[in-house]
């Protein structure tokens, strides 16, 4: 595996791919090898990302740090192979880069990489895309859990979620046997019970919520606006109203309501 092959396999945008390869071919990765290796250590990956940014300095469109993330993702391929994890899961996982850049382009009209604070998980081998959903091996207060994430392009229908959950259970049983009995959690605005008043009881979101025991209503946060309204603007008056959920949530926010990132444990 090499960076060019990875870029081609994940259909990285041609303009971005050219910049990545240009930087890759002219950069001495020895000066960031410590930081890239520390992506492999869950407790160190965040600090390693911050250190990496400081070393790289000015970074137009974050091409430098994207290239480093892709280099780490190439390096982690050997871990996949040693464990016997399929190329399908590897490439599905790494398509996050292309998806994130597309999402940002749709919201801003610019092609650039803004999710470097997140992709240490993929490039460090802590998060896997298995079917519709993503699963992160997460360390919380000396306990390891599986944290479920919902990608923006996920098919959220109950049968597809069922399939993903079943495949994930088999995945961790086979490749991370020490995690075969681990608990599955989710921390997301999609678990805010208040959404049930805005949705049909048969909606995919309500079906997803009902899979979880909500043990903490969570914190108020506005990041969900990106995923629901496809914009980085927080001007509530200008939020689109193209779907019933958008209309209902917008009305809720304008009347002083909030959306919380709730915490749930898979039943």
- Backbone phi, then psi, for 23, in 5-degree steps? -70, -45
Contact 67, 2 (CB under 8 A): no
What pLDDT does residue 141 have? 85
The closest of 1, 107, 120 to 53, measured between CA atoms, is 120
Give the sheet arrangement for strand 127-130, strand by strand: 127-130, 133-140, 143-149, 184-188, 260-266, 212-220
Contact 266, 148 (CB under 8 A): yes
pTM above the 0.85 mark? yes
What pLDDT does residue 129 have? 98
pLDDT (tens digit, 9 = 90+) per residue, 139-166?
A: 988 899 999 999 999 999 999 999 999 9
Q: Which residues of the chain have pLDDT under 50?
A: none
pLDDT (tens digit, 9 = 90+) per residue, 28-72?
A: 999 999 999 999 999 999 999 999 999 999 999 999 999 999 999
Q: Which tokens in the block code for residue 189?
A: 């605005």
What pLDDT does residue 232 have? 84
What pLDDT does residue 162 have? 97
How far CA 49 is from CA of 82, 97, 101, 120, 229, in Å, comes to 25, 16, 19, 7, 29
What pLDDT does residue 36 have? 98
């Amino acid at each position: 595996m090499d960076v060019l092959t990875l870029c081609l396999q994940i259909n990285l945008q041609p303009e971005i791919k050219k910049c990545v390869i240009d930087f890759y071919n002219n950069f001495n990765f020895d000066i960031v090898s410590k930081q890239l290796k520390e992506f492999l250590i869950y407790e160190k990956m965040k600090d390693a990302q911050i250190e990496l940014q400081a070393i790289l300095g000015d970074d137009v469109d974050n091409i430098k740090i994207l290239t480093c993330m892709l280099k780490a993702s190439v390096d982690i391929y050997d871990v996949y192979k040693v464990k016997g994890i399929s190329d399908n899961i590897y490439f599905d996982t790494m398509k996050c880069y292309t998806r994130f850049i597309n999402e940002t382009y749709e919201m801003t009209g610019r092609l650039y990489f803004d999710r470097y604070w997140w992709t240490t998980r993929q490039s460090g081998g802590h998060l896997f895309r298995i079917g519709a959903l993503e699963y992160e091996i997460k360390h919380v207060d000396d306990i390891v859990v599986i944290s479920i994430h919902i990608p923006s392009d996920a098919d959220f229908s109950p049968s597809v979620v069922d399939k993903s959950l079943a495949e994930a259970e088999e995945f961790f049983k086979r490749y991370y046997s020490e995690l075969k009995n681990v608990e599955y959690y989710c921390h997301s605005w999609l678990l805010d019970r208040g959404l049930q008043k805005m949705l049909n009881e048969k909606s995919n979101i309500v079906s997803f919520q009902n899979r979880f025991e909500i043990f903490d209503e969570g914190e108020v946060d506005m990041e969900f606006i990106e995923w629901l309204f496809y914009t980085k603007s927080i001007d509530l008056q200008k939020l689109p109203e193209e779907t019933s959920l958008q209309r209902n949530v917008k009305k809720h926010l304008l009347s002083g309501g909030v959306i919380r990132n709730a915490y749930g444990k898979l039943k």
